Amino acid sequence: MTQIKIFDTTLRDGEQSPGVNLNQLEKLELAKQLERFGVDVMEAGFPASSKGDFEAVKKIAEIVKNVSVTGLARAVKSDIDACRDALKNAADPRLHVFIATSPIHMEYKLKKNPEEVIDTAVEMVEYGKQFFEHVEWSAEDASRTDLDFLAKIIEKVIDAGATVINLPDTVGYTMPREYGAMFKYIKENVPNIDKVDLSCHCHDDLGMALANSIAAVENGATQVEGTINGIGERAGNASLEEFAVALKIRNDYYPYHTNLVLNEIKRTSDMVSKFTGMTVPGNKAVVGRNAFAHESGIHQDGVLKNAQTYEIITPELVGVHSNNLVLGKHSGRHAFTDKIKQLGYDLPEDKLKEAFKAFKLLTDRKKEVTDDDLFAILTDIQTDTSNVKRYKLENFQVQYGSNDKPSATVSLTTPNNDKVEDTSTGSGSVEALYNTLDQIITEETHLTDFQLNSIGQGRDALAEVHVSLTVDGKTVSGRGSAQDVLEAAVQAYLNGVNRAIYQKKAI
C-alpha cells in the first residue's frame, strides 16, 4: 500500500471562499484540529497578503508540531521573505511558491514569454532553497499548459532544488482522463522526476475535482491537495474527506492509503462549517446529514436486515455517533470536563469555567444536551475575543403582531463601557433588531448575507445564525447561537462588528 500525502489548504485556499473571514483564534483552533485529523502538510496562509495573515501563519507555525506547515508565495522575493519570517519557528517548515505556465496566463497576467517564466521560476526556487529544505513549486493553470513546456520548466525547477511539483487544475477545466494523462506524460518525459513528490490540486468548477485527484494518483501523484468540505474559491476544491474515505472503502481496488484519522472527519467538518458559515449540504458525500439516512422503504428494510445492503460507509468510520445524548441538568463539573476531553478540547481553567456556566444555562432550557450543542458552546468559548473592548448585548425586546409593524428595543454596553438603549422598526422582527443596532453602533455597518440553521433536532434545538457584514468598508462574518432565533440573530450581528473591531486593533 502506497501512502498518499495529504496537503490541506483549508486555511489558505478555503478561506478565499466568498464571504469567509476567519480570525486568528479560529485559524488556530482549525490548525489544531487539522493536526488531530492527521494531515501531512498544512498550508496556513499567504503571509505576504496582509499583516493579519502573516501573524496567523506565524502563530500556527509555533503551535503545530506534528504537521509540516507551509506558506504560499508568488514568484517574488518579498513573498518568499515573508514566508521565511513567518515560518522561522516551525518544527518542519516548507515553502510553496507558484508561477503561471499556461499561454493565456503568461501573456495576459504575467506579460512574460516562456523563457522569462522559466528564468523567474528557477531563480525563485533557488532563492527559496536558501531558507527552506522543502520547496513546493506549483505550475499555476498547469492543466491548460503546453505539455512540452511544462516538462521543460519542471526539469529545471527540480534541478534548482524543488522537492515537490504541483500541477493544479486551477480553473477546474480539465477532465479525469486528460488530467491523468498529464501526470503520466510528466512521469515519462521529465528525467529527474523521481527526485520529487508529484502533487495535484483540483478545483470543482465542473464537478470533477475528486475524480481528477484520483486520476492523478492513478498516474503517479503521491500528494493530494484539497480542503475540508471541499470549500475554496468559486466552486471549491477537492474534498479531502471524500478522497480519504474513497481510498479506504475501495482498498480492494486502489493500493493506496492516507494517514488521516478518519473518525475525526465529522468533528473537522463541523468546525470548518461553523467557523466559515458555509453549511454542509444535506446530500454532501461522507459528511452531509443525509449521508446515512434512508427514506425508501426498500432501503430501510435492507439496512435493518444488513447495513451493508445500502451502507458502504459506517457512520462510526467518520466519527458520527447515533446516540450522543449524554449530559443534562444534573450533570456535574467532572462529567462535563470528561466529556469535553472526549470531544478533543483542552481548555484552560478560565475558559473551562466559562464553558461550564454556558452549559448550565443551556440545561435550564434544554432537557438533554447533545455533542452538537457542546461543540457549539466550546467553539464559541475557544474563539471568543472578549478580552478586547466590544459591544455586549444587555437586553432586547421585540413587539410583533400579524397586523402591526414590528418594533425592537435593544440595550447594549458599548466598547467605551457606556450603556445605550434605542428602538426602531422594520419589515420583520430581525430587520427591526438590526435597524436598532445600526442606530446604536457607531461603526458604519451593512448586512450582505443572513443564514439561519439549527444545531441538532427537535423543538428545543439551538438556532445558529451566520451573517456577512461590511463594517467601515471591511467585509467580516459573524455568528451567534441561542435557543431563541432572534437572540442568535442579534449575537451574530454583534459578533461580526466585534470581529471588525478586533481585527482593526490587531493591525
- Where is the domain boundary, 383, 408, 429? 383
Q: Which residues of 310-327 are buried (b: 16+ CB within 10 A; e: fewer)?
A: eeebeeebbbbeeebebb
pLDDT value at residue 458: 78
Asked if the structure places residue 187 within a domain, the reply is yes
pLDDT value at residue 298: 47
Q: Where are the beta strands (DSSP E) in 12-111?
A: 41-45, 68-74, 93-100
- pLDDT greater at residue 401 or residue 10: 10
Asked if the structure places residue 129 within a domain, the reply is yes
Cell numbers given for 9: 489548504
Cell numbers given for 475: 467585509
pLDDT in tens, 22-31: 888 899 999 9
Asked if the structure places residue 219 within a domain, the reply is yes
Partners of residue 226 on adjacent β-strands: 8
- Where is the domain boundary, 242, 276, 310? 276
The rounded mean pLDDT for the chain is 91
CA angle 164–182–129, rounded 5-degree value:
20
| Domain tally, the chain | 3
Give the mean pLDDT of 353-361. 87
**Cβ contact 356:363 at 8 Å:** no
pLDDT value at residue 355: 87
Helix H, strand E, coil C: the string for 375-421 is HHHHHHHHCCCCCCCCCEEEEEEEEEECCEEEEEEEEEECCCCCEEE
pLDDT surpassing 90 at residue 395:
yes
Q: Examine the domain organization and report whether 375 and 399 are in the same domain.
A: no
Query: Cell numbers 498516474 correspond to what residue?
Result: 219
pLDDT surpassing 90 at residue 246:
yes
pLDDT surpassing 80 at residue 334:
yes
pLDDT in tens, 270-308: 999 999 989 999 999 999 988 876 444 544 455 456 666
pLDDT value at residue 502: 81
pLDDT in tens, 430-489: 999 999 999 999 999 999 999 999 887 778 888 999 999 999 998 889 999 988 999 999
- Closest by CA position to 154, among listed 165, 145, 144, 163: 165
Neighbours of 49 (CB within 10 A): 17
Q: Examine the domain organization and report whether 440 and 342 are in the same domain.
A: no
Q: Is 237 annotated as a binding residue?
A: yes
- pLDDT greater at residue 137 or residue 506: 137
Please state whether beta strands 474-482 and 462-471 pair in parallel, antiparallel, or not at all (unpaired): antiparallel
pLDDT in tens, 19-74: 888 888 899 999 999 999 999 999 999 999 999 899 999 999 999 999 999 999 99
Q: Examine the domain organization and report whether 396 and 376 are in the same domain.
A: no
Q: Examine the domain organization and report whether 90 and 16 are in the same domain.
A: yes
**Cβ contact 396:486 at 8 Å:** yes
Structural domain that includes position 369: 327-383
Q: Examine the domain organization and report whether 32 and 88 are in the same domain.
A: yes
Give the mean pLDDT of 180-190. 98
Give the distance, in angstroms, between the CA of residue 152 and the centroid of all CA atoms in the same chain. 35
Q: What is the CATH number of the domain that holds 483?
A: 3.30.160.270
Q: Examine the domain organization and report whether 133 and 19 are in the same domain.
A: yes
pTM (2 d.p.): 0.89
CA distance 94 to 132: 6
Q: Examine the domain organization and report whether 378 and 396 are in the same domain.
A: no
Asked if the structure places residue 301 within a domain, the reply is no
Asked if the structure places residue 459 within a domain, the reply is yes
Q: Examine the domain organization and report whether 415 and 357 are in the same domain.
A: no
pLDDT in tens, 299-316: 445 545 666 666 788 889
Asked if the structure places residue 165 within a domain, the reply is yes
Q: Where are the beta strands (DSSP E) in 46-143?
A: 68-74, 93-100, 134-140
pLDDT value at residue 294: 43
Q: Examine the domain organization and report whether 377 and 403 are in the same domain.
A: no
Percent of the chain predicted with pLDDT > 90: 72
Q: Examine the domain organization and report whether 377 and 397 are in the same domain.
A: no
CA distance 123 to 156: 10
Neighbours of 128 (CB within 10 A): 28
pLDDT value at residue 326: 56
Q: Give the DSSP letter of residue 279.
A: P
Q: What is the CATH number of the domain that holds 252?
A: 3.20.20.70
- pLDDT greater at residue 363 or residue 177: 177
- Where is the domain boundary, 383, 418, 451? 383
Query: Cell numbers 434544554 correspond to what residue?
Result: 366
CA distance 304 to 311: 11
Give the mean pLDDT of 165-194. 98
**Cβ contact 480:465 at 8 Å:** yes
Q: Examine the domain organization and report whether 6 and 151 are in the same domain.
A: yes
Q: Examine the domain organization and report whether 165 and 40 are in the same domain.
A: yes
Asked if the structure places residue 486 within a domain, the reply is yes
